[in-house]
Structure formats: structure tokens, C-alpha cells
């Protein structure tokens, strides 16, 4: 291993995350420190209907703005849910859509320079429209269907800024 943890301490903890500070020793013997944000993995769903994709928009407090993204989320009360079950639940909660077919495209990390959080990416097709089951945290969420060409234009223009959404779309493109 290139880096060895010599000690660790919890700096902050709530039901959604834990922040720890690790003292480390590098391969050359020098000491250092890492701050690590521990968060449960989440599921991200690309709902595709013909030549369109479904997006959600919500206010993101840390960056003080509303942004369009693919439906995504985690369960803070369950550490290791089945990613496909989580994906189906998030899709229905945020959009009111049920996936007839759910295809796993891959697993990515959100920001592995400072966090252990990863996410599973799914393509949802054969969509059934039902009632949205939003949680209290999602009460301001908006849902919209956009043409793939418009979605790509939203990325190019900077209207879509969510890194997991853009990375997930890249997985979709390379998976055909």
C-alpha cells in the first residue's frame, strides 16, 4: 500500500455522513493528514423514453441553486440496500415513473479525493407513469421530460452541472 493510516478520529457525525481525520504515513516515510467524508452509496437512474430522458430539478443547499439532474438518492437509515431496489424507489419517489426494465451500467465514485461515496448507475426503460411519492426533502422537486438533443445542449451550456449526471450519461453512451 502506498499510504498507511496511523490514526483516525471522528470530527463530525450526523445521520447522513461522518467526517473523519486520518493521520497517515506515505511510502517514503513522510507523515500527512487526510480528511475523509463517509457517506452511503447512492443510486442514479437514467429514465429513457424513446428519444427523451426524464430529469428532476431541485434546490441544492450547499451551492445555493436549483439544478437539473437524473433522479438519484440514498437511504440514510439503511447502509447497504440492494442498488436496484434503491434505484427503483428513487425513480418512483422523484418522478412517479416505474421501470419495466432496469439495466445496470456501472459503479462510479462521486469524489474519491475526499469521500468514500460511490454510486450505481442504471438505465430505466419501459416506463410506466404513476403517482410521485416524494419525501419531505423532495417537496420542491420538479420533473421534466427532455429530448436527448436538448439534454446534451443543457450540458454544453452549463445548465446541467451535476457531475454524477454527466458521468452517468457518459456510461450510457459507451454502453450503447
Task: Give the structural domain span for 132.
Answer: 42-174
- Reported as a single tens digit per residue, the pLDDT across 25-50 is 999 999 999 999 999 999 999 999 99
pLDDT of residue 138: 67
Residues 26 and 53 in one domain: no
Same domain, 15 and 53: no
What is the structure's pLDDT at 135? 67
Whether residue 48 sits in one domain with residue 25: no
Q: Are 68 and 150 members of one domain? A: yes
Q: Are residues 54 and 137 in the same domain?
A: yes
pLDDT mean over 13-32: 94
pLDDT tens per residue, range 98-154: 999 999 999 999 999 999 999 999 999 999 998 877 666 667 889 999 999 999 999
Return the CATH number at 125: 3.90.79.10
Q: Does 132 share its domain with 79? A: yes
Number of domains in the chain: 2
Judge if 28 and 55 occupy the same domain.
no
The reply to whether 28 and 56 lie within a common domain is: no
Is pLDDT above 80 for 78?
A: no
Burial 107-129 (b: 16+ CB within 10 A, else e): ebebeeeebbbebbbbbbeebee
Residue 131's pLDDT is: 81
**Are residue 21 and residue 101 in the same domain, yes or no?**
no
Amino acid at each position: 500500500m502506498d499510504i498507511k493510516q496511523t490514526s483516525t478520529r471522528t470530527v463530525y457525525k450526523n445521520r447522513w455522513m461522518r467526517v473523519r481525520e486520518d493521520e497517515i504515513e506515505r511510502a517514503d516515510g513522510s507523515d500527512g493528514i487526510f480528511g475523509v467524508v463517509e457517506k452511503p452509496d447512492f443510486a442514479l437512474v437514467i429514465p429513457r423514453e424513446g428519444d427523451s430522458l426524464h430529469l428532476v430539478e431541485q434546490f441544492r443547499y450547499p451551492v445555493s441553486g436549483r439544478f437539473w439532474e437524473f433522479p438519484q438518492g440514498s437511504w440514510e437509515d439503511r447502509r447497504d440496500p440492494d442498488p436496484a431496489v434503491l434505484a427503483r424507489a428513487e425513480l418512483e419517489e422523484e418522478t412517479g415513473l416505474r421501470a419495466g426494465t432496469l439495466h445496470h451500467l456501472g459503479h462510479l465514485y462521486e469524489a474519491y479525493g475526499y469521500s468514500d461515496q460511490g454510486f450505481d448507475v442504471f438505465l430505466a426503460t419501459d416506463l410506466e407513469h404513476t403517482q410521485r411519492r416524494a419525501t419531505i426533502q423532495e417537496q420542491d422537486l420538479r420533473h421534466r421530460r427532455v429530448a436527448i438533443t436538448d439534454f446534451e445542449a443543457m450540458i454544453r451550456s452549463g445548465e446541467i452541472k451535476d457531475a454524477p449526471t454527466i458521468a452517468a450519461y457518459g456510461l450510457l453512451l459507451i454502453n450503447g
